[in-house]
Structure 1
Amino acid sequence: MSNSAATRAGRPAIPAALPPPPGPATGPGTGGRRALLLAAGVVLLALNLRPALVAVSPLADTIRADSGMSAASVSLLTALPLLCFGLLAPLAPRIGRLLGTERALLATMALICAGTALRMLDSVAALFAGTVVIGAGIAVANVLLPGLIKRDFPTRTGLMTGLYSMSLFGGAALAAGVTLPVRQAGDMTWRTTLACWGALALVALLVWLPQVRSRGRSAAATARAATHPVRGLWRSPLAWQVTAYMGLQSLGYYAAAAWLPTLLTDAGTSPANAGWMLSFSSLLGITGSFLAPVVAGRRIGTGTLAVLGAVLCGLGLTGLLVAPVAGAYLWMVLLGLGQGVAISLALLFILHRAPDARHTAQLSSMAQCLGYTLAATGPAVLGAIHDASHTWTLPLIVLLVLLIPQIAAGLGASRPLHVAGRP
């Protein structure tokens, strides 16, 4: 029975083996000056997908003291965007079909600008509303950008994934490292400081605007065809392995990011140094996130990289368990590199396991819908385990144990196959 016939019969189709490597890219934006402008636009878009959210953490104590909010309420400012990432991801391909990919991505930057402006209002309700608006913009961009890379850089997916994931880590590290210094240097309120990150989104919007103008109405028609719904994807075991890898590595990253400064402070590190350690780890993540997709398939297989990323994270977590202060810099190096490798592989799996831009958008939607919804539970679950055990030993052991299914999912997603799914 053929693959399509099997799918029509109600059984998951067998993933198709990868075709021969594509020839030179001939799509839009694949050569010359326009390719450079498009790549710069992708980098700037990706650079905006974390700062408006990460900037809340360094200001959390100030926000709590000034607004009178509880610690749980302040923590929602970081949990809500993750829920937006997961819950709104299924809508992103539909938005891409309605507006066209370029226009939809332009709209995401407009939403981030609007959300940061809304958070300037002297109202707790406006603060949360602005955070949801920002999360909605980022959720759509998270899903659509991999599809655009697959469509416009089919022969350079490794390099572009490296630049994309490097920009994600770079934006997070930038926000974690400079938010407080910027506030102190400008003697600004925390609301104004948060709003400053809207300027970066405005720059990305202006740089991306020519992409919308140059493609015109025909681009919208092309985008609608490229993101036409794919049926049967949720019955593909390979798609579920890609999704599991995305979810598990995201859970580990956000859980560690949420509690790492507190863990180090409880171990005897000063609060300022503990915050710096988190930023330092993100800086190392930039290196891992760029190199992994560039070397994947050339010198090192993606399965090997999936194991390597988990091992690096495992060594860092074990170090925090045994000697959190004495070897803190070494543990941050290992953890940052491992997390960088993992996030870039999660994005690369979406690109490599999808045969075209249409499947990429749908697989990206599935992986991020379930993956980020799972990740949103990580900080709360780890916090509850810590409260119950009154120690960081058990939470760290849980993160270590979760690396085992992460490796299994990574090895499964590394198979040189395409996801099942029929148009």
Structure 2
Amino acid sequence: MGIPHTANQLEQPKLNIKPKIGLLIIGIILIGANLRAPLTSVGPLVASIRDSLGISNTLAGTITTVPLLAFAFLSPFAPKLARRFGMEFTLFISLILLTIGIGIRSFGGVETLFIGTILIGLSIAIGNVLLPSLIKHNFAQKIGMMTGIYAVSMNLCGAIGSGISIPISSLSGLGWTGALGGWGILSLLTIFIWLPQLRNRHKSMKPDQTAQKVKSINLWRSKLAWNVTLFMGFQSFIFYTVITWMPEILEQKGLNTHDAGWMLSLMQLAVLPITFLVPILAGRLQDQRLLIVIPAVLLIGGLFGILYGNTLLIPLWIIMVGIGVGFVFSLAMMFFSLRTQSTNEAAELSGMAQSFGYLLSAVGPVLFGGLHDITHSWNIPLLMLVLVSVLIFIAGMGAGKNEYVTSK
């Protein structure tokens, strides 16, 4: 039986307008900005890193995989850390860890490269999991808008990170270490902006009445929780696979290296308005199943277009895939709040979905490349992504139901 969305809103604390609420919003935007840029800035520099350190292609490829495994490992534990130390303080420590990781990664050695990358992955995992819960706690009546704002910040800075890495590394004396180390300035700024929130460390993530009622229920046994998890996971699978392999696919379609790289930027920029609008729209609906149809059609249509469509329309196919992935990501972020009754539950569901989701995303590029090696063609791997898009639709129809993960 569905639970009215309005009831969910009524059970949440009213929006508390504090004198420094603007500083909190700025802090959330800045934390969002730190969640992708330190990772997306690496991709364009992988060849430079490989040649500079004299490492193999295989080892260089793991630079982008290690953070995803860190996400999968730490995500389930992030809610427990937040309950133990307070959500604001846990995010503060994650920002410090991120800054240290960025610094260590930029020392210029093989060992420090991977140590820093691991620290970056662990710190970003905490932000990924806790931000939706923080928004649910502080902006119960504005979940859609605030989710959209931080998602836009995350994706915009992620796109900027991909675009400016090469130009910055080309500046005299900077190289790849300077290009990657520069993101420490952003994380350091965020630390100082976030400092005032530490006074609230004892107010967030306290077990409320609702949380105590459902404390004994295991989300891993909830069918709805698994639908949300698979919805998030399959989206990550497609996104990281496309980011890894699409330039090479497009080069075989006739595009030059420069144009193929710009297609990825186009895909990420196309996501921006979607990541803002979709959470707002989803937050106003009691049932989100109708929205699931849109990204499924876009993903399947875009992938078939890349497979069999006119190469002159490649920008259109890429935009369709980008909007489809961004649509699913935004809905998944909203489901963490809409399918739960408390801040604690939102954090637990976020941890579960992102742990399994990023584990899937780590498998995706490897499986995709393996299928290409076996078949010597991109057709079967791309058809696999079409199948995954169908699975997104199936999981989404379950996740979009107007229920709570702890409903019986």
TM-score by length of 2: 0.93
- Contact 1:230–1:362, Cα closer than 8 Å, also in 2: no
Asked whether 1:165 is paired with 2:151, we answer yes
Is the Cα–Cα contact under 8 Å of residues 2 and 401 in structure 2 kept in the other structure?
A: no
Are the equivalent residues in 1 in contact too, given 2:2–2:402 (CA < 8 A)? no
**5+ unaligned residues in a row in structure 1: which ranges?**
1-13
1:15–1:419: 8 Å Cα contact kept in structure 2? no
Residues in 2 aligned to 1:416 and 1:301: alpha-carbon distance in whole angstroms: 5
Quote the residue 2:183 is aligned against: 197
How much does 1:123 deviate?
1.5
CA contact (8 A) 2:245 2:365 kept: yes
Q: Are the equivalent residues in 1 in contact too, given 2:5–2:286 (CA < 8 A)?
A: no
What displacement does 1:24 show?
Answer: 10
Q: Which position in structure 1 is the counterpart of 2:135?
A: 149
Tell me the equivalent position of 1:384: 370
In the other structure, the counterpart of 2:7 is 20
Distance change (3 Å), C-alpha of 1:26 and 1:417: closer
CA distance, structure 2, for counterparts of residue 60 and residue 323 of structure 1: 31
Structure 1 residue aligned with 2:195, among 209, 229, 249? 209
Shift, 1:187, TM fit: 4.7
What is aligned with 2:169? 183
Q: Which stretch of structure 1 is more off in the superposition, 145-154 or 182-191?
A: 182-191
Shift of 1:297: 5.1
In 1, Cα distance between equivalents of 2:204 and 2:272:
33
Q: Distance in 1 between matches of 2:259 and 2:303?
A: 18
Superposition RMSD in Å: 2.2
Give the counterpart of 1:310 among 279, 296, 306: 296
SS in 2 for 1:415: coil
Distance in 2, matches of 1:183 and 1:230, equals 52
- Corresponding residue for residue 416 of structure 1: 402
Secondary structure at 1:355 match in 2: coil
Residues of 2 paired with 1:277 and 1:395: CA distance?
19
* C-alpha deviation, 1:283, in angstroms: 0.6
Structure 1 contact 46–164 (Cα < 8 Å) conserved: yes
Determine the structure 1 residue equivalent to 2:87: 101
Q: Distance in 1 between matches of 2:307 and 2:96?
A: 43
Instruction: Measure the CA separation in 1 of the matches of 2:193 and 2:266.
Output: 29
Aligned 8 A contact 1:93 1:362 in 2: yes
Q: Which among 339, 342, 356 is matched to residue 353 of structure 1?
A: 339
SS at match of 2:365: helix
User: Using the alignment, how far apart are the partners of 1:270 and 1:35 within structure 2?
Assistant: 48
Q: Is 1:295 aligned to 2:281, yes or no?
A: yes
Letter in 2 for 1:167: S
Cα offset for 1:120?
A: 1.8
- 1:156-208 CA-to-partner distances (Å, cap 9, x unmatched) read 11111111222221121111111112222455211111111111111111111
Provide the residue aligned with 1:220 in structure 2: 202
1:41 aligns with 2:27: yes
1:238 to 196, 200, 224: 224
Q: What is the distance in 1 between the residues matched to 2:217 and 2:6? A: 21
Deviation of 1:402 (Å)? 1.0
- Counterpart-to-counterpart distance in 2, 1:239 and 1:388: 35
Question: Structure 1 residues 407 and 170 mapped into 2: Cα distance closer, same or farther (>3 Å)?
Answer: same
Look up the SS of the partner of 2:7 in the other structure: coil
Report if the CA contact (8 A) 1:231-1:421 is conserved: no
Q: Tell me the residue number matched to 2:40.
A: 54
1: distance between equivalents of 2:100 and 2:239?
A: 28
| Contact 2:240/2:365 (8 A) holds in 1 | yes
Assess, with a 3 A threshold, how the Cα gap between structure 1 residues 299 and 402 changes in structure 2: closer, same or farther: same
**Shift in alpha-carbon separation, 1:230–1:196, aligned structure 2, 3 A:** farther
Q: Deviations over 1:197-250 (max 9, x none)?
A: 1111111111111111x32xxx32643436886532211111111111010111
C-alpha distance in structure 1 between counterparts of 2:88 and 2:338, whole Å: 22
For residue 324 of structure 1, report the CA deviation from its aligned partner: 6.7
Partner SS, residue 155 of structure 2: helix
Counterpart for residue 64 of structure 1: 50
C-alpha distance 250-224 of structure 1, shift in aligned 2 (>3 A): same
Secondary structure of the residue that 1:137 maps to in structure 2? helix
Residue identity matched to 2:9: P
Task: Work out whether residues 85 and 138 of structure 1, in 8 Å CA contact, stay in contact via their aligned partners in 2.
Answer: yes
Q: 1:400 aligns with which of 386, 390, 399?
A: 386
Which residue of 2 is the match for residue 5 of structure 1? none
Give the letter for the 1:106 counterpart.
F
Mean Cα displacement is larger for which, 380-389 or 230-239? 230-239
8 A Cα contact 1:287 1:340, kept in partner: no
Whole-angstrom distance in 2 between the partners of 1:221 and 1:211: 11
Q: 1-side partners of 2:268 and 2:55: how far apart?
A: 28
Q: Counterparts of 2:7 and 2:264 in 1: how far apart (Å)?
A: 42
- Whether contact under 8 Å (1:289, 1:344) holds in the other structure is yes
Number of matched pairs: 404
Give the structure 1 partner of residue 257 of structure 2.
Answer: 271
Question: Do the aligned partners of 2:69 and 2:358 also contact (CA within 8 Å) in 1?
Answer: yes
Counterpart of 2:150, as a letter, is: Y
- Among all aligned residue pairs of Structure 1 and Structure 2, give the percentage whose two residues are the same amino acid: 35
**Are residues 15 and 361 of structure 1, via their aligned partners in 2, closer, same or farther at CA, if it must alter by over 3 Å?**
farther
Equivalent residue letter for 1:290: F
Gap regions ≥5 residues in structure 2: none
TM-score computed with the length of structure 1 as normaliser: 0.90
